[in-house]
Every structure is written in structure tokens, then in C-alpha cells.
């Protein structure tokens, strides 16, 4: 969660997309990107209800929207925090847009 950086729960990208009828052109960076502690920009992808849907789909939609907003061009480092117990290959979607990747596990 981005709560520890922002101090509040931010709207998820998937909820924002749903509220805007999946019209990407109606979404602006300030709708989904929130400034957190130390100037870190935060985005919360969200996900499907537990036991239903595909989390990888949500990651894909998040990456697609952030590309539309040119958000990747504004950052030096982009971190994706994903659940470690998920078997869906869709969580690897952001790797398609990376020059390189470092995987950190605990």
C-alpha cells in the first residue's frame, strides 16, 4: 500500500478507470498520481476482488494508463510492489517496458 508514503488511502487506478467509463482521455495525472513523503509520486493500481479476476489485467491497465499520461518519462526510478504469492503471469507486464529490472525478495 502507498498509505505509508501518502498518509491516506489514494484512489486506485482501476477504480478511477471504472468511474470514468475506461475513457483514458478523461483521466489526468493528478487523478491517479499523489505526492508522498520525500517527494515520492505514488500510484495505487488496485485489483480484482479476492478470488475473482486477474491481478495481471489490473497491472496491464495501470501500465497502459501511466504510458498514456507520460508518467514514465517523468521518473528516474519506478518501483512496482506486487504480492509475492500470486501466480498470475500478468504481474510481469511492467517488465516489457523496462530497460532493466532488479527483483528484490524477502
Q: What is the mean pLDDT of each run of 10 residues along the chain (106 residues)?
A: 90 91 93 93 82 73 88 81 60 65 63
pLDDT at position 87 = 54
Question: How many angstroms separate the Cα of 36 from the Cα of each of 4, 32, 51?
Answer: 8, 12, 30
Query: Whole-angstrom distance between the N-terminal and C-terminal Cα of the chain?
Result: 17
Contacts of 37 (CB under 8 A, 6+ apart): 4, 5, 6, 7
Report d(CA 61, CA 19) in Å as an integer: 14
Write down the pTM of the prediction: 0.76
* Separation of alpha carbons 52 and 77, rounded Å: 31
Exposure b/e, 44-65, CB count within 10 A at least 16 = b: bbbbeeeeeeebbebbbbbbeb
Q: Which pLDDT belongs to residue 2?
A: 87
Cα Rg, the chain, nearest whole Å:
14
Do the Cβ atoms of 56 and 88 come closer than 8 Å?
Answer: yes
Amino acid at each position: 500500500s502507498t498509505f505509508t508514503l501518502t498518509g491516506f488511502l489514494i484512489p486506485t487506478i482501476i477504480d478511477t478507470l471504472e468511474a470514468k467509463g475506461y475513457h483514458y482521455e478523461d483521466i489526468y495525472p493528478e487523478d491517479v498520481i499523489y505526492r508522498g513523503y520525500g517527494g515520492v509520486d505514488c500510484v495505487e493500481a488496485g485489483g480484482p476482488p479476492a478470488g475473482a479476476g486477474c491481478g495481471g489485467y489490473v497491472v496491464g491497465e495501470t501500465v497502459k494508463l501511466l504510458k498514456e499520461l507520460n508518467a514514465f518519462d517523468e521518473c528516474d526510478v519506478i518501483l512496482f510492489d506486487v504480492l509475492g504469492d500470486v501466480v498470475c503471469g500478468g504481474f510481469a507486464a511492467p517488465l516489457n517496458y523496462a530497460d532493466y529490472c532488479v527483483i528484490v525478495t524477502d
